[in-house]
Amino acid sequence: MPTQEKVKKDVVDNLFWDTRIDASDVEVEVDDGEITLRGSVPTYTARSAAYSCVWSVQGVTKVNNQLTVKYPVALTIPDDAQIKSNIESVLLWDSDIDSTKIDITVVNNVVTLEGTVDAYWKRLGAENLADVVGVNKIVNKIAVVPSEDVSDEDIATSIVDALSRNFNVNAEKVEVKVNDGKVTLRGEVSSWIEYRSAEDTAFFTAGVKEVNNLLEIKY
């Protein structure tokens, strides 16, 4: 395991290396592998990018993203009505998501998504598409209503089988539990790649309504 000083240096270097992120107003705290990000970034995209960027550093076991979005003064920020209209347009152009089933509310640059989709990955996709200029925060309340009934046992079996086929995951160390379509992952993984691979496996499985990833990264 690298020292805390080494982890912090690598995190800071990574944030400044990543061209998606202006890290000049970002503060990094390290506590036994747990990273806390404070300060501000100029876009919501940069906030999300900072989170994934930090995870790629060896020695990081948890990321607490407390960054806020502070748009540049020179940038003309759309009002709430325009932000809503822009999100509606983006969703309309995505053929995977039925935008007629999604309601969008924007108040003080905070976006709330409500409605239904038929797959969990579409719920996440709608949130990603809502990241347009002017957005400070996205609250995702979209419910997943699968088009076909899939039993908890079949969901669990499908996830376990997919994990066993995944080269990046040691499936024997991942415990999968499903209750009313809600998946919980527990166990230990050895890297962020393994963590995300296991999580994505649950995301893309038919019948999944929610995913709670409690996996721990142990180097």
Residue 142 DSSP symbol: P
pTM for the model stands at 0.87
Nearest-CA neighbor of 217 among 173, 172, 163?
Answer: 173
* β-pair partners for 183: 178, 211
* pLDDT, one tens digit for every residue, the chain (219 residues): 688 899 999 999 999 999 999 999 999 999 989 999 999 999 999 999 999 999 989 999 999 999 999 988 888 899 999 999 999 999 999 999 999 999 999 999 999 999 999 999 999 999 999 999 999 999 999 999 999 999 999 999 999 999 999 999 999 999 999 999 999 999 999 999 999 999 999 999 999 999 999 999 988
| Alpha carbon separation from 59 to 85, 88, 123, 164, 196 (Å, rounded) | 42, 40, 30, 25, 16
CA dihedral (165, 169, 175, 176) positive or negative:
negative
The two tokens of residue 177 are 């539990």
Residue-level pLDDT at 16: 96
Structural contact between residues 15 and 54, judged by C-beta atoms closer than 8 angstroms: yes
Q: Which helix (H) or strand (E) holds 217?
A: strand 216-217
Domains and CATH numbers, the chain: 4-69 (3.30.1340.30), 80-144 (3.30.300.130), 152-217 (3.30.1340.30)
Q: CA geometry: angle at 23 spanning 52 and 42, to 5°?
A: 90
pLDDT of 40 reads 95
pLDDT for the residue numbered 219: 81
